[in-house]
Amino acid sequence: MAILRHFEPDAEHACPRCRAEALSAPTVPCGQERLYDRVLEAAPSPLLTRLLQALCTGAELGIWINGPAEMQAIYAHLDRITEGRDALLPLLTGRDYVGVARVSHPTGEFIVVLPESNKPVIAWAATNTSAPVLSTNISHGQGDPPPGRMCRP
């Protein structure tokens, strides 16, 4: 059975059988939820806390790619990183497989490197390099998290 993306099981026009099947269908975590789960393994830090807050408020996942580290380094925008660059550099050399994710924020973006055999590392690239520190008062400006979003404390 195919579930239409915009099907509303509680709508008047939904037949009882379709409603029941739609409500019992398994859900698939979105990219933000999968990234949230992966970065929980990262070392505790203010950047991790801010990234988790941003993901919970629906921050846009700009890119998430995987491949040999030396080929993924270009996607990490190392020249723009203002916080955490030194921790990323060793992970972005060689042929080990890594994931590189960029999470957009109004004042910059989080850069996350996800090595296969190590803990994720998070960095920050400010949009305005004269103000490199990310405010602890994070507000993505997109309102509530997406429906069904399960953010953990």
**Domain assignment of residue 110, yes or no:** yes
Of residues 1 and 61, the one with the higher pLDDT is 61
d(CA 73, CA 105): 21
Q: Is a pLDDT exceeding 50 seen at residue 143?
A: no
Full-model pTM:
0.71
Q: Specify if 137 maps to a domain.
A: no
Q: Do the domain assignments include residue 58?
A: yes
User: Is 138 a domain residue?
Assistant: no
The residue that leads in pLDDT, 144 or 128, is 128
Residues 132-151, buried b or exposed e (16+ Cβ, 10 A)?
eebeeebebeeeebeeebee
Position 28 confidence tier, pLDDT thresholds 50, 70, 90 = confident
Q: Is 115 inside any structural domain?
A: yes
Q: Which domain holds residue 103?
A: 31-126
The answer to whether residues 100 and 75 touch, using CB atoms and an 8 Å cutoff, is yes
Give the sign of the dihedral formed by CA 74, CA 79, CA 84, CA 86: positive
Tell me how far apart the 2 most distant CA atoms of the chain are, in Å: 58
The pLDDT of residue 34 is above 60: yes
Q: Is residue 4 part of a domain?
A: no
The arithmetic mean of pLDDT across residues 108-119, rounded, is 94
Q: Considering only CA atoms, give the Rg of the chain.
A: 18
Domain tally for the chain? 1
